[in-house]
Structure 1
Amino acid sequence: MPQVVLFEPQIPPNTGNVARTCAACGCALHLIEPLGFRIDDRHLRRAGLDYWPLVDLHPHRSWAGFQELRGTRPGRLLAFSSHGRLPYHQFRFEPDDWLLFGRETDGLPAQQLRGADAVLTIPMARRVIEGGQPGVRSLNLSVAVGIALFEVLRQLGLLDRFDPPPAEGSAESPSR
């Protein structure tokens, strides 16, 4: 199963949303410190709702500590960056891949990009706005993780293992 890695995330709701996505997909979440918040932050907990007990969470005190653990496990380190040249949907994922995402404000540092087995990007329109200012530079962290993770699961044929939602009006369907 692929694993999601957040390098020094800074915004609690983003990390909470990523944690919820990982819980829904059955994927481990690795958080590399320093974090821009405390793990018990109420905004982090709120974004993850009551799914935190379902999250396979692995905090790491440093990049070196994360790399030490990763060295004991199989899989490629795949960095996602707006500076990548290879679109994620043209890449062939493998079950043991580690999906690495950077800080919300400035992405992944050069050291992490150089150490990755591949640097992938999520294509988007980068229109220039009035006055020559750049348009959209990047996607929200939790959106980027969701896009990438579901493509990995789709390619690996793992989406079929998830239960379909209950039929509308069934006993299992949530009441409105």
Structure 2
Amino acid sequence: MSIHVVLYEPEIPANTGNIARTCAGTHSHLHLIHPLGFSTDDRMLKRAGCDYWPSVKVEHHDSFDALYSRYPEGAFYFIETIGEKNVYDFDYSDPDQDYFFVFGKETTGLPGELTARFEEHCFRIPQTDLVRSLNLSNTAAIVVYEALRQQAFAPIQIKKTVD
């Protein structure tokens, strides 16, 4: 069982960098659906201080359907401000299941045809109406850690410090 964070055509490199750090720190997989609004070449990553990037399990995909066909047994969930259910309404504790959490572009979210296709698996993060949405990297961290909490944080190996 694994947790997978899927970024649909991300536009802001800092958000993707923060999410990649969360993935590295939680043994989660990162999937980037193209086109990207930035470069992930080594020079750009080093410049952004992403020294943890080699620890991230990252896959690139040309489309959502390419990702979906590669992981037909995966449980896909779509995070969008329009979801009727919230992140806490779902069970992510099955030890044999791969969970894919799909996040949309920072400016426009997920395409309507995608959320309509998977309407039963769309959810939102509870929030007030004072903001349009939460920051993408914060939202990804909330979702990943809720799934980990339900799994008793099993994928995380805690390093012990030496006194």
Please give the TM-score of this superposition, normalised by the length of structure 2: 0.87
Paired residues of 2:76 and 2:100 also in contact (CA < 8 A) = yes
**Pairing of 1:48-127 with structure 2 (within 5 A):** 49-71=50-72, 74-93=73-92, 94=94, 95-116=97-118, 117-126=120-129
Report whether the alignment pairs 1:33 with 2:28. no
Q: CA deviation at 1:156?
A: 1.3
For structure 1, list consecutive stretches of 5 or more residues without a partner in the other structure: 127-134, 171-176
RMSD: 2.0
Deviation digits for residues 60-103 of structure 1, max 9, x if unmatched? Answer: 122232222122xx221100011111110122114411100000
Instruction: Work out the number of aligned pairs and report it.
Output: 158
Secondary structure class of the residue paired with 1:64: helix
Report whether the alignment pairs 1:149 with 2:152. no
Bigger radius of gyration, 1 or 2?
Answer: 1
Paired residues of 1:20 and 1:48 also in contact (CA < 8 A) = no
Paired residues of 1:16 and 1:46 also in contact (CA < 8 A) = no
Report whether the alignment pairs 1:12 with 2:7. no
CA distance in 1, matches of 2:28, 2:49: 15
CA distance in 2, matches of 1:5, 1:11: 14
CA distance in 1, matches of 2:43, 2:127: 32
For structure 2, list consecutive stretches of 5 or more residues without a partner in the other structure: none
**Percent of paired sites with the same residue:** 40
Compared CA separation, residues 9 and 41, structure 1 to 2 (3 A) = farther
One-letter code aligned to 2:81:
S
Runs of 4+ in 1 over 4 A off after TM superposition: 41-48
Q: CA deviation at 1:38?
A: 1.3
Secondary structure class of the residue paired with 2:60: strand
One-letter code aligned to 2:55:
L
